[in-house]
Chain A
């Protein structure tokens, strides 16, 4: 019973907070309402007995939204978020498309004869996930590792402003490096 009430409450909050992202006119509120939506979904995943994934969702998304808020403030310059002005294009089409998608998905969900549950959850879901990742699904884990590493490198390359020639001079011999702000290790 409590699970049901909790699930519905979380569901309502998750969807409303998600909608609020595109309604509120403050950058901080938009990003943190998305965070609230994620926290609700994370808790729902907890209710569905997948503790690790649920908690990790909360962990990752709160962090991401903290960063997201910074980017919003940084990049929205003459911002629509402080001044109420519409920053949308094709609002009506977008609305129509998304409502159509929702109706389509909902009909599918309700009409589809879902198969009965097969199998039972393992005793320790988290340990089972770990063994799966380190055993039969090792490839996934290896791929994820590589993708993450590539992402870090690609992100830095895309966003970096100054290369090593700016820091160390044309012959790469200048020590300490010429930085607008010296770092803590003194490289």
Chain B
């Protein structure tokens, strides 16, 4: 659907960037130059960077985007300072797993503008991280899941955004739970948090399979900024554990 704009976009990215226009720079900022866009209007091309520090954004991820209007025609992903985070001995990995899911869900909900649910998710996360809050936390999580599932406005706003089919998953080696659109992924995020919470302490939570950062860049191409932010947030990334060598930007 949205990816048909991608075909040409992959190559036009940086190559065509403002050669003739470089000498014209009001206030030291070179003028943008135009390029083909998906609507055939030859809009100006803008280069902007998302991350590494941005609210509700996987920290350390940097997306260098080529924008036309607010549509991302090309993107290139990098990681900075990636490395395994030091494990916190006081919190079990299971609780960390659940907290991470809740945190990601809170970010996604905040990006979708659903502030109440986002605050709620943050409270669940805090309850999980505080040792002993498990019964309380699972009650809260249950309520959060019901709230998210029932909001028809949220369904309307997130459906059909960033759909991933079985084939897409295979192509980018993505884990199974990312299938569907952003809303499906949000629900599966919360479901996995609930599963993690229901497990006994001894059971090890299966390791989060890494998401290739090239996949992140590919997935946001052709979408507008708002949808792209939702898509990135819905990928449920672990902090700084994407499967790539460290590179500096």
Could you list which residues of chain A lie within 8 angstroms of chain B, going by C-beta atoms? 74, 77-79, 82-83, 161, 176, 178-182, 184, 186
**B216 → chain A, closest Cβ, in Å?**
20
**B207 on the A face (CB < 8 A):** no
C-beta contact mask, B27-48 vs A, less than 8 Å → 1, else 0?
A: 0000101100011111110000
C-beta contact mask, B157-174 vs A, less than 8 Å → 1, else 0?
A: 001110000000000000
Q: Is there contact, CB below 8 Å, between A180 and B26?
A: no
For B, the interface residue count at a CB cutoff of 8 angstroms equals 25
Q: Is there contact, CB below 8 Å, between A181 and B21?
A: no
**B5 on the A face (CB < 8 A):** yes
**A128 → chain B, closest Cβ, in Å?**
45
Supplied contacts A178-B1, A179-B2, 15 more A-B pairs, CB within 8 Å: A74-B43, A78-B33, A78-B34, A79-B31, A82-B26, A83-B26, A161-B39, A176-B160, A180-B2, A180-B4, A180-B39, A180-B222, A181-B223, A182-B1, A186-B160
**B37 → chain A, closest Cβ, in Å?**
10
**A53 → chain B, closest Cβ, in Å?**
36
**B24 on the A face (CB < 8 A):** yes
**B156 on the A face (CB < 8 A):** yes
**Dominant SS at the B interface?**
loop
With A180-B38, A181-B224, A186-B160 known to touch, is A78 a contact of B1 (CB < 8 Å)?
no
Q: Is there contact, CB below 8 Å, between B31 and A82?
A: yes
Q: List 26 A-B contacts (CB under 8 A).
A: A74-B41, A77-B42, A78-B21, A78-B34, A79-B31, A82-B26, A82-B31, A83-B26, A83-B31, A161-B39, A161-B41, A179-B1, A179-B2, A180-B4, A180-B5, A180-B38, A180-B39, A180-B222, A181-B2, A181-B223, A182-B1, A182-B2, A182-B160, A184-B156, A186-B159, A186-B160
**Dominant SS at the A interface?**
loop
Could you list which residues of chain B lie within 8 angstroms of chain A, going by C-beta atoms? 1-2, 4-5, 21, 24, 26, 31, 33-34, 38-44, 156, 159-161, 222-224, 227
Q: Which chain A residue shows the least CB distance to B223?
A: A181
Q: Which chain A residue shows the least CB distance to B157?
A: A184
**B189 → chain A, closest Cβ, in Å?**
22
Q: How far is the CA of A82 from the CA of B28 in the complex (A)?
A: 12
**A99 → chain B, closest Cβ, in Å?**
32
Q: How far is the CA of A79 from the CA of B1 in the complex (A)?
A: 34
**A162 → chain B, closest Cβ, in Å?**
8
